[in-house]
Amino acid sequence: MSVFVRGTVTSFSFINRPRFQDGNIKNPNQATESIPLDYSSSSMYSVTSTSSRPTESSTSYTSEPMDETMGYLPTVCKRIQRNTFIGRDATGKEYLIDTGQCSHVTLTPNQSPALPQQSVEICNTTSPCDITRIRTESNTLLTGVEHYDIVESCECHKLREHCAKVSLYKTFFPNSPFEVQIDVGTCRGDCVKENCDGCFPTETVSKSIEGPNGDECVEKIERCSCTSACYRASHFQTYYVKRWDRSSNSSIVELRKFDVGKCIGICSPTPFCIIWDPSSGKCLSSISTSSRCKATAFDTHSFTTPDGKEKMLISIGNCVCA
């Protein structure tokens, strides 16, 4: 819940905190004037400067941002610095880039809105602080051309009860004639009730963009679902198909799209026991073996091409770590 405090505010302090009295905060330095709390806004914390009645000792009013019941300092969703090691430049020196990250930051008294009037958006720690805009950049290092994403902006979101695709804007070739911004999308939402590993993209499409070295393909998320860490995602192939049309009593050619699927995901290392205790049957020593996310079930699609040849496509039915 947000708090609006009105009064002549010169600083925030943890000393001489005012007390709640009948829904109002009383200034001990003011004779009888009260400063009402306004809870009309649910998303903003604001401090507004107004004139107050002068007293013998002071005309200032000190307080800390408080929730109407808990009395804790609020948090905001902000982009913070995150230095990432990209590689080494031509001189062998480490190349660090501020790729940024989104985080909840406590709004301390010194970081409170500047006077006379300014507002900041409050983001509870129970609400996700997510990336809304990124840009991709590249640098030539000793290992070759390295590409990396940089966080540009963050935003507080409501906690989603269901897995869904949401917008994520990405800028390609920034500060160049080829600069373009595309909504590549991202997956967010709760999958606890689904008894799976998380919310992942299960359908994507490719978009062609112009770059300095010709056209490049960008993958955009179309649909997200609650699934395991290794999962089947849609992957389409399109063909012209020849079939017999009974209504016209002739052969026709139509465009048909087939979902052949693909396996996506990360598989955790699997422990493999190499020494057993014969008496207890317990494993005394083991090693980790890597596994891949691969297809274990298949389907087939048969059709006739326009030149009369029979063609069969194999599509993936299921994916597991093996």
DSSP structure string for 174-208: TTSTT-EEEE--EEE---TTTTSSEEEEEEEEEEE
Last residue within a domain, chosen from 18, 46, 72: 72
Task: Identify the bridge partners of residue 230 per DSSP, sorted by sequence position.
Answer: 265
Instruction: Name every residue whose Cβ is closer than 8 Å to that of residue 258 and which is 6 or more positions away in sequence.
Output: 236, 237, 238, 239, 301, 313, 315
Please state, in angstroms and rounded to a whole number, the distance separating the CA atoms of residues 213 and 206: 18
Please state, in angstroms and rounded to a whole number, the distance separating the CA atoms of residues 6 and 63: 11
Residues 53-98 have pLDDT tens digits of 333 333 333 333 444 445 567 888 999 999 998 888 778 888 888 9
Task: Please say whether the beta carbons of 92 and 142 come within 8 A.
Answer: yes
Q: How far is CA 255 from CA 239, 245, 307, in A?
A: 6, 14, 14
Residue 146 placed within a domain: no
Cα angle 108, 97, 83 (rounded to 5 degrees) comes to 40
- Picking from 117-126, 295-304, 313-322, which range would have the lowest pLDDT averaged per residue? 117-126
- What residue type is 153 in one-letter code? S
Question: Given pLDDT bands bounded at 50, 70 and 90, which one contains residue 110?
Answer: low
- What residue type is 123 in one-letter code? C
pLDDT given at position 165: 93
Residues 232-257 have pLDDT tens digits of 988 888 999 999 888 888 889 999 99
Sign of CA dihedral 193, 198, 200, 202: negative
- What residue type is 171 in one-letter code? T
Q: Can you give the pTM of this predicted structure?
A: 0.61
Is residue 183 pLDDT above 90, yes or no?
A: yes
Q: What is the maximum span of the chain, computed from C-alpha positions, in angstroms? A: 102
Which tokens in the block code for residue 36?
A: 């009402």
What 3-state DSSP class applies to 239? strand
Residue 122 placed within a domain: no
Last residue within a domain, chosen from 72, 91, 110: 72
pLDDT given at position 267: 86
Is residue 262 pLDDT above 80, yes or no?
A: yes
Which tokens in the block code for residue 211?
A: 């770059």
- What residue type is 206 in one-letter code? S
Residue 119 placed within a domain: no
Selection from 184, 199, 177, 189 nearest residue 149 by Cα: 184
Residue 302 placed within a domain: yes
**What is the total residue count of the chain?**
322
- Domain membership of residue 284 as a residue range: 230-322
- Interval 180-199 mean pLDDT: 87
Residue 25 placed within a domain: yes
Last residue within a domain, chosen from 22, 37, 72: 72
Find how far residue 72's CA is from the centre of its chain.
Answer: 27
Residue 11 placed within a domain: yes
- Interval 158-162 mean pLDDT: 82
How many domains is the chain partitioned into structurally?
A: 2
- Picking from 38-42, 199-203, 221-225, which range would have the lowest pLDDT averaged per residue? 38-42
Please state, in angstroms and rounded to a whole number, the distance separating the CA atoms of residues 218 and 108: 41
Which tokens in the block code for residue 112?
A: 């409170």
Q: How far is CA 211 from CA 136, 176, 183, 214, 216, in A?
A: 13, 10, 17, 5, 7
- What residue type is 283 in one-letter code? C
Query: What values do phi and psi take at 177, rounded to 5?
Result: -65, -15
Residue 39 placed within a domain: yes
pLDDT given at position 120: 64
Residue 37 placed within a domain: yes
